[in-house]
Structure 1
Amino acid sequence: LCGMVIEACFIYNLYQTELVQSASTSKLTGGDEVATVENYLEESLPSKPMAHLTDGVDVVHEKQIMGWSMNADPILYEMVYRNGSLIIQKEGYYFIY
């Protein structure tokens, strides 16, 4: 019986932690939860540098050079995008797709 009480406490604490994290990483918009990139990065920073860029209608592509949009909520962590170039600041393996 004592084990069941302890297990119930663990389950209760688990669900309380999930509710707090869910509320802090999303915002309510008309009753729907919408995750925000800023909150995601503040809550759980990546262990390695990362960049997630997309192209868009505001991008001008040059011959054999891909351009990236800065208007489409890009994610940049320990990397810089400047003058059409992605600047890698730390040595490592990077995948571009």
Structure 2
Amino acid sequence: MRPAGTAEAGVVYPPVFVVDGQAGYPLPANPVPRRRGTAIWPLYLLLSLALCGMVVEACFIYHLYTSTGPPGTVSDVERAEKISQDKQPVKGSDLMMKPSKPTAHLTIAPNLSSRDGVLLWNTEGNTIAHELAYKHGGLEVQKEGYYFIYSKVFFREPTCKMFTHTVLRSTPRYLGDVMELMESRRVHCHDPRELQSSYLGGVFHLVKGDTVQVKAKNHSLIARQHSYDNFFGMYMI
């Protein structure tokens, strides 16, 4: 016998073991790697959110407990007493907030007017007088500016007599008599039992020291049924 791979008479013998590269045997498939943790992270997220909610709720309860105290403590009693005190009525001008500008609203006085026909006004009760001084039936200006002045009176229609309703201004800047700012006149003859009203209102520039008054001729005809029927006031605009 001759060793494999030796030739005799020009004949070449192949080796005993030959690998055929063209064989159609399939190669084994690569193993698919496993995904670890894909089903666990949602659980971690939910657990974290639950813990955060518990912490926030605990902080809120602690803050509420420390600020107000437990039910039935002294803080609750004091708070209830304060609420009851706030509901009690307050006397005088404490019921109203002070205006930011000079303001006055007066109702007519029981004696109605002075000898010269200037109407007198009541400064008590449901009246306002802020930064405007009441003197001799008039309002004295403390601050210069533009003011809206108004007045309203109820009166019985005169029997063929003239009834006048006038708003006057006296100022230290001008010498002489007072100045008429507004006036209303009635000269018709009607039943004296019939009630009429006269309203005057307008804007005027006033300086410090000016005094505004309301005058009525035949003031005995003024009807005083209610305190709010006849009024006089002004305010800075």
TM-score by length of 1: 0.51
- Residues 70 and 79 (structure 1 numbering): CA distance in 2 closer, same or farther, change over 3 Å? same
Question: Gaps (5+ residues) in structure 1?
Answer: 1-18, 28-34
Quote how far apart the aligned CAs of 1:73 are: 4.7
Structure 2 residue 129 is matched with structure 1 residue 66: no
Q: Please say if residues 118 and 137 of structure 2, whose CA atoms lie closer than 8 Å, have aligned partners that are also in contact.
A: no
Name the SS of the counterpart of 2:100 in structure 1: coil
- Residues 36 and 95 (structure 1 numbering): CA distance in 2 closer, same or farther, change over 3 Å? farther
Match of 1:48 among 83, 101, 105: 101
Q: Please say if residues 80 and 86 of structure 1, whose CA atoms lie closer than 8 Å, have aligned partners that are also in contact.
A: yes
Q: Where does residue 13 of structure 1 map in the other structure?
A: none
Structure 2 residue 138 is matched with structure 1 residue 75: no
RMSD: 3.5
Query: Which of the pair has the greater relative contact order for Cα pairs under 8 Å at 6+ separation?
Result: 2
Structure richer in helix, relative to its length: 1
Name the SS of the counterpart of 2:109 in structure 1: coil
Q: Where does residue 89 of structure 1 map in the other structure?
A: 142
CA distance in 1, matches of 2:111, 2:91: 22
Question: Gaps (5+ residues) in structure 2?
Answer: 1-81, 152-237
One-letter identity of the residue aligned with 1:52:
H
- Residues 54 and 85 (structure 1 numbering): CA distance in 2 closer, same or farther, change over 3 Å? same
TM-score by length of 2: 0.24
CA distance in 2, matches of 1:62, 1:23: 46
- Residues 58 and 71 (structure 1 numbering): CA distance in 2 closer, same or farther, change over 3 Å? farther
- Residues 70 and 58 (structure 1 numbering): CA distance in 2 closer, same or farther, change over 3 Å? farther
CA distance in 1, matches of 2:141, 2:104: 10
| Deviation string, structure 1 residues 45-91 (Cα, Å, up to 9, x no partner) | 21211101000214434455222123445311011001222101122
CA distance in 2, matches of 1:62, 1:48: 32
CA distance in 1, matches of 2:111, 2:117: 18
CA distance in 2, matches of 1:76, 1:92: 17
> Identity across aligned pairs (percent)?
25
Q: Where does residue 39 of structure 1 map in the other structure?
A: 94
Counting matched residue pairs gives 73
CA distance in 1, matches of 2:112, 2:123: 9
